[in-house]
Chain A
Amino acid sequence: MNLLNKFMNMDRRWIYLITAICVIIPFLIPIGLPTYTTPPVKNLYDKIDSTPEGQIVLLSLDFDAATLPELYPMAVTILNHCFVKDIKVILMSLYMQGIGIAQVCLEDVKREFPDKKEGIDYTFLPFVPGASIVILGIGEDIHKTFPTDYYGTLIDSLPMMRDVRNFDQISVAISLSGSAISRTWITYANQRYGANVAAGVTAVMAAENYPYLQTKQLTGMLGGLKGAAEYENLVEKNLKLETRKAACIGMDAQSAVHIMMIVFIILANIAYFAGRRRKK
């Protein structure tokens, strides 16, 4: 019992150290357990996969570096998927910080697809403040909301944007976010303009978005690092695309830390009940 007490009162820094070890060891000795594909992820994959060649997918990186490890792998793998299938991409962000991340992401993906050209295969839109107003602006006239692309080229002069005016020409709008901004996309893009909206969200937000999946206001959803890992596996399996799967690599560490947390919570509860019984 004394041991349990000691365990309960151990310095928090020991817990930090154990957590760090549980993250590091699976990286050094990977197991590579398979990941089960959930329906919301499959739905988004199918939606993009069924988009005809030359059609447009809008990918909005509505997050900052605080949620980078979860959402960045989603952005990379969705871009990979679109480029492999020759689907054109409009890349943007409703967050100022997200614009920088989008640029880094684009540089990363273009290493695999050096032949993809700005204005022909993809368009990178600049940051415009106002979130919901920007979504409404795209719904009304994307050329007016974004007169130029990120690099200052007039949108009208970009070949892939010439026939794009609003959501009618966009197959699906995907928002990757760690906030409730995916619901802003639902309210404004889906409700007002009937656009197909999908989301990639942090695991914290995933459970909250299920009501919108049932009503089909969300076409599909990637939830947290697991969602990203599922998508990476689907892309690799079906399209034979061999890239570094950052999310899949992290899933072993997820398993280890989750097991550690479960054991810790169970032990803490045993100690709690034992303590309560002694008091009685």
Chain B
Amino acid sequence: MSHDPWIWVAAFLTLCIFSFLYKDNPFYRFAEHLLIGATLGYALPLIWKNVVTPKIIVPLQHHEYWLLIPLCLGFLYIARLIPKYAWLSRWPMAFALGTGSGIAIPLSLQAGIFKQIQGTMLTKAMLSPSVTPTAHIIGNIVMFVGVITTLIYFYFSIKHVGTVGKVARVGVWYIMLAFGATFGYTVMARVSLLIGRFQFILHDWLGVIK
């Protein structure tokens, strides 16, 4: 069993939160609110020392006064808290949204659309038995059909009847398969979180496992 008082504090808080599994209780509520407070308290010195000092105070000490322009623009965000002047907060938002969108559009188009379409194209090499193993050739064809049918399923500008309906139906099967895969993995994710806490209890606190 651990002799570190910090481990005991952590163990107590862990049990406080686990107690919610039985029913809601003051121990859980205490830990829940402590978590909010400690998280907010953690952020303050971190922002001051990691962001405000090196990004604002130090450059201003080095006479980089141009920095006052984005800084003043940023302070307009706070106007949102004063109803009479709330409209001023639209200016920094306009700058952030406009610049952010302008940067994102060409890059997202290339990374999220063009590259993905390119990857879907069946090249000679992808279908050639001398280059690609049979399982992968089948996979490439399956992948091509899947992308097309899934896209058709999401194309709502035409009615899903007749041939389009049948193709869209294939798309639904692909989507279900993908959701199944995601669910299968989700189980692992959630169980991992649990494993992490039990490792703490059994290893760090009680010391009953290696």
Tell me if chains A and B make direct contact, with any CB pair below 8 A.
yes
Query: Which residues of chain A have a CB within 8 Å of any CB of chain B?
Result: 13, 16, 19-20, 23-24, 27-28, 30, 66-70, 72, 96-97, 99-100, 126-129, 132-133, 136, 146-148, 150, 152, 183, 186-188, 190-192, 202-204, 206-208, 211, 214-215, 217, 223-226, 244, 246, 249-250, 253-254, 257-258, 261
| A and B contact pairs by CB, cutoff 8 A, 25 listed | A23-B195, A27-B209, A67-B193, A69-B192, A69-B196, A69-B197, A96-B46, A100-B46, A126-B54, A127-B50, A132-B104, A147-B55, A152-B49, A152-B54, A187-B108, A190-B111, A207-B182, A215-B119, A217-B115, A224-B192, A246-B199, A250-B192, A250-B196, A254-B192, A258-B191
B residues engaging A (CB < 8 A)? 21-22, 39, 42-43, 46-47, 49-51, 53-55, 58-59, 100, 103-104, 107-108, 110-112, 115-116, 118-119, 143, 178, 181-182, 185-189, 191-199, 202, 208-210
Residues of A within 8 A of B103 (CB): 132, 136
Query: Judging by beta carbons under 8 Å apart, are B55 and A250 in contact?
Result: no
Q: Which of A23, A127, A133, A183 contacts B198 (CB 8 A)?
A: A23
Contact between chains at B112 and A187 (CB < 8 Å): yes
Cβ of B185 and Cβ of A203 under 8 Å apart? yes
Q: How far is the CA of A13 from the CA of B18 in the complex (A)?
A: 12
Given contacts A28-B202, A28-B209, A68-B196, 8 further A-B contacts (CB under 8 A): A13-B22, A67-B193, A127-B51, A152-B54, A186-B111, A217-B111, A249-B210, A250-B195
Closest 5 CB pairs of A and B: A69-B196, A126-B50, A203-B189, A215-B119, A191-B111
Beyond A16-B21, A69-B199, A225-B195, whether A126 also contacts B51 by CB under 8 A is yes
Given the known interface contacts A23-B198, A152-B49, the answer about A226 and B39 at a Cβ–Cβ threshold of 8 Å is no
By a CB distance below 8 angstroms, the chain B residues around A68 are 193, 196
Interface SS, A side: helix
* A178, closest chain B residue (CB): B189
Whether the Cβ atoms of B54 and A225 lie closer than 8 Å is no
Minimal beta-carbon separation of B18 from chain A (angstroms):
9
A152–B54 Cα gap in the complex (Å)?
Answer: 8
In the complex, which residues of chain A have a beta carbon less than 8 angstroms from the beta carbon of B104? 132, 187
Please tell me which one of the listed residues A67, A202, A207 contacts residue B178 in the complex, with CB atoms under 8 A apart: A207
Known: A27-B199, A132-B104. A99 touches B46 (CB 8 A): yes
Chain A residues lying within 8 Å of B189, measured Cβ to Cβ, are 67, 70, 202-204, 224
Q: Which residues of B have CB within 8 Å of A250?
A: 192, 195-196, 199
Q: B187–A261 contact, CB under 8 A?
A: yes
Cβ of A100: which chain B residues have Cβ within 8 Å of it? 42, 46
CA distance A14 to B199 in the complex (A): 21
Identity of the chain A residue whose Cβ is nearest the Cβ of B179 in the assembled complex: A207
Find chain A residues with CB under 8 A from B185 CB. Answer: 203-204, 206-207, 223-224
Alpha-carbon distance between A103 and B193 when the two chains are bound, in angstroms: 21
Greatest chain A CB density within 10 A among B119, B186, B195 is at B195
Q: How far is the CB of A200 from chain B (nearest CB, A)?
A: 13
Chain B positions within 8 Å of A28 at CB level? 202, 208-209
Cα distance A147–B54 when bound, in Å?
A: 7
A132, B193: Cα distance in complex, Å: 27
Find out whether the CB atom of A214 lies under 8 angstroms from the CB atom of B188: no
Query: Given A13-B21, A69-B193, is A97 in contact with B208 using a C-beta cutoff of 8 Å?
Result: no
CA distance A112 to B196 in the complex (A): 21
User: A69: nearest residue on chain B (CB-CB)?
Assistant: B196
CB nearest neighbor in A for B116: A211
Docked CA distance A44–B187 (Å): 24
Q: Is the CB of A96 within 8 A of B119?
A: no
Q: Which residues of B contact A192 (CB under 8 A)?
A: 107
Report whether B119 and A207 are in contact in the complex, using a CB–CB cutoff of 8 Å: no
Select from chain A the residue with minimum beta-carbon distance to B187.
A261
| Contact yes or no, B115 A257, CB < 8 A | no
Residues of B within 8 A of A257 (CB): 187, 191, 194
Q: Is the CB of A203 within 8 A of B119?
A: no
CB pair B182–A150 under 8 Å, yes or no, is no
B50 touches A191 (CB 8 A): no
